């Protein structure tokens, strides 16, 4: 299957089929402590932040979605136009296709053209690094969209179940060390739906990465996406594997705690976040920003107005949650108490983390 056809199918399947994880993000087990007397005014709550050298009106990223096709170009233009207007960040989809086929560069370049002042994150994959890509290709991806940072996506689950997937991950950490020392822009390690463990975050942090995008379990399952695609093309074995591993991974809230404990860099919480309350909970658990993909894709298909209203609602909801916890700004939000219970608390205890730590913060 060509990369172009695969990308087209990814968009269609994501919009038309059930591809959501059956396992929740874990944010349902997280509660923020309500302040009946917050001692601040809602109008004074400041959601602005700086991320990778760019000032954002809110700690929100349109996570990497697409690129490489005519449909993707339209979607990217809509996403970027709204990102620029609202002063939030945006990441592009994997640029492998454009590096191999320069004629489709415009489908990615449109993001910078439509949002000249926005935080833009470029994107290449770990398998390509293992197969010989290096600083040259990474720099080309960055220059293509005049990116402020480079995301290196980690998708071993997707590749392992994908028809014709690339499962070369040997030597990745050494490759990342080279990128972080020679590329010249921040390198962000990004999962694609299965989360990041404490162990991997610690190794990659030592390799010099500037941050992580978690993309944990609880949102779109790329094993599910590949299950549907394999069924369409008659690959029964891959169809079975996608179904069997549909819910593989670390729930987003748990992964966030692990990565925050392991890393000195920026942490973007993504993977199933659907509203401002989820965002507020992520910030209270230590995230520097949050990323959203599928819900924004769905709204982008409807048009700029629908997307803009949806994003504004998320930001407003997060701001109200900050007000209700007494947090004037994001620095204060990261220290408000959050109570972790249920299965997520059990996970964290089993992994050596104390869930009561978050409830005690802010006292």
Reported as a single tens digit per residue, the pLDDT across 256-295 is: 999 999 999 999 999 999 999 999 999 999 999 999 999 9
Contact 149, 186 (CB under 8 A): yes
Instruction: Look at residue 349 and tell me whether its pLDDT is greater than 70.
Output: yes
- Phi/psi at 55 (5° precision): -85, 130
Average pLDDT over residues 84-112: 97
Reported as a single tens digit per residue, the pLDDT across 216-265 is: 999 999 999 999 999 999 999 999 999 999 999 999 999 999 999 999 99
State how far the Cα of 51 lies from the Cα of 144, in Å rounded to an integer. Answer: 20
Average pLDDT over residues 123-151: 96
Instruction: Look at residue 1 and tell me whether its pLDDT is greater than 70.
Output: no
Name the domain count of the chain. 1
Contact 167, 129 (CB under 8 A): no
State how far the Cα of 21 lies from the Cα of 75, in Å rounded to an integer. Answer: 24
Reported as a single tens digit per residue, the pLDDT across 22-33 is: 999 999 999 999
Residue 13 confidence class, pLDDT cut points 50, 70, 90: confident
With 0-12 / 13-18 / 19 or more C-beta atoms within 10 angstroms meaning exposed / middle / buried, residue 131 is exposed
Residue 14 confidence class, pLDDT cut points 50, 70, 90: confident
- pLDDT given at position 105: 97
State how far the Cα of 83 lies from the Cα of 344, in Å rounded to an integer. Answer: 32
At what angle are helices 222-233 and 236-244 packed, to 10 degrees? 160
Contact 143, 84 (CB under 8 A): no
DSSP symbol at 165: -
State how far the Cα of 196 lies from the Cα of 180, in Å rounded to an integer. Answer: 19
Contacts of 220 (CB under 8 A, 6+ apart): 14, 19, 20, 21, 193, 272, 293, 294
Tokens of 232: 């369409």
Contact 67, 100 (CB under 8 A): no
Q: Indicate the length of the chain as a whole number.
A: 363
- Phi/psi at 227 (5° precision): -60, -50
Reported as a single tens digit per residue, the pLDDT across 126-139 is: 999 988 999 999 99
Instruction: Look at residue 152 and tell me whether its pLDDT is greater than 70.
Output: yes
Closest by CA to 39, choosing from 336, 349, 361, 352, is: 336
Average confidence score pLDDT of the chain? 96
Domain that holds residue 37: 3-360
List helix spans (H) across the chain. 3-16, 70-86, 96-100, 106-114, 126-130, 135-145, 156-161, 172-182, 198-206, 222-233, 236-244, 252-262, 276-284, 294-302, 304-324, 330-333, 342-350, 356-360
Instruction: State how beta strands 54-56 and 49-51 pair.
Output: antiparallel
- pLDDT given at position 5: 75
Residue 323 confidence class, pLDDT cut points 50, 70, 90: very high
Average pLDDT over residues 312-318: 98
Domain containing residue 87: CATH number: 3.20.20.70
- pLDDT given at position 2: 67
Closest by CA to 195, choosing from 243, 135, 154, 147, is: 154
Closest by CA to 51, choosing from 188, 238, 222, is: 188
Instruction: Look at residue 363 and tell me whether its pLDDT is greater than 80.
Output: no
């Amino acid at each position: 299957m060509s990369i172009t056809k695969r990308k087209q199918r990814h968009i269609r399947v994501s919009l038309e089929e059930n591809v959501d994880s059956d396992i929740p993000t874990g944010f349902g087990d997280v509660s923020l402590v309500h302040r009946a007397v917050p001692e601040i005014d809602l109008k004074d709550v400041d959601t602005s932040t700086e991320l990778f050298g760019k000032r954002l009106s809110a700690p929100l990223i349109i996570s990497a979605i697409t690129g490489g096709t005519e449909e993707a170009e339209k979607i990217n233009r809509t996403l970027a136009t709204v990102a620029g207007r609202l002063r939030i960040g945006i990441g592009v989809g994997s640029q492998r296709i454009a590096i191999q086929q320069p004629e489709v560069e415009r489908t990615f370049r449109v993001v910078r053209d439509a949002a000249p002042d926005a935080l833009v994150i470029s994107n290449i994959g770990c398998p390509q690094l293992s197969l010989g890509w290096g600083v040259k290709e990474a720099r080309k991806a960055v220059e293509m969209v005049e990116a402020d940072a480079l995301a290196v996506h980690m998708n071993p689950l997707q590749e392992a179940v994908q028809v014709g997937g690339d499962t070369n991950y040997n030597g990745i950490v050494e490759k990342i060390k080279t990128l972080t020392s020679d590329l010249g822009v921040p390198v962000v390690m990004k999962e694609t739906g299965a989360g990041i463990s404490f162990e991997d975050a610690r190794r990659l942090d030592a390799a010099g990465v500037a941050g992580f995008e978690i993309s944990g379990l609880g949102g779109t399952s790329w094993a599910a996406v590949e299950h549907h695609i394999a069924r369409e093309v008659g690959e029964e074995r891959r169809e079975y594997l996608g179904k069997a591993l549909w819910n593989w991974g670390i729930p987003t809230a748990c992964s966030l705690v692990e990565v925050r404990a392991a890393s000195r860099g920026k942490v973007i919480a993504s993977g199933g976040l659907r509203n401002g309350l989820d965002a507020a909970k992520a910030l209270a658990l230590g995230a520097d920003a949050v990323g959203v993909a599928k819900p924004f894709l769905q709204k982008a298909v409807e048009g700029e107005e629908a997307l803009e209203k949806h994003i504004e609602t998320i930001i407003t909801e997060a701001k109200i949650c900050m007000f209700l916890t007494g947090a004037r700004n994001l620095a204060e939000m990261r220290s408000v108490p959050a109570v972790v219970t249920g299965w997520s608390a059990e996970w964290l205890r089993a992994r050596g983390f104390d869930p009561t730590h978050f409830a005690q913060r802010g006292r």
